[in-house]
């Protein structure tokens, strides 16, 4: 059992090292690039805005789809409840007097 935990730990350590190396490499690449700081900032800002806009569009699409699915389920459950109640609406529903069981003795 300890063997699997050691293997999982070494895999996660490898991934952490690879991520750290990628970040350091990206930083060095930015510092050594033959562009001015203003150009690099503009490009980074442009890329960030593109990703942000794409994420916002995707969020709206998912939210719209979820809303539509919710509304479809609500209308289906209302229709099913009407069939179960024999077509009775909520105003036609049975109301018992508190303290009575509905049986006559």
CA distances from 30 to 22, 40, 51, 58, 66 (A): 12, 8, 19, 30, 41
Higher pLDDT, 86 or 63: 63
- Domain locations along the chain: 9-80
**% of the chain at pLDDT higher than 90:** 34
The count of other CB atoms within 10 Å of the CB of residue 40 is 13
pLDDT, tens digit (0-9, with 9 covering 90-100), for 30-67: 778 788 888 888 988 998 999 999 999 999 999 999 99
Q: Which two tokens stand for residue 93?
A: 């529903």
Q: In terms of pTM, does the model score above 0.75?
A: no
């Amino acid at each position: 059992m300890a063997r699997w935990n050691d293997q999982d730990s070494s895999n996660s350590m490898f991934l952490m090292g690879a991520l750290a190396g990628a970040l350091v490499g990206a930083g060095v690449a930015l510092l050594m690039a033959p562009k001015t700081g203003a150009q690099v900032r503009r490009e980074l800002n442009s890329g960030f805005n593109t990703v942000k806009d794409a994420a916002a569009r995707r969020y709206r699409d998912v939210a719209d789809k979820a809303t539509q699915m919710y509304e479809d389920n609500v209308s289906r459950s209302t229709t099913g409840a009407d069939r179960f109640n024999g077509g009775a609406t909520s105003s036609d529903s049975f109301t018992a007097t508190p303290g009575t069981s509905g049986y006559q003795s």
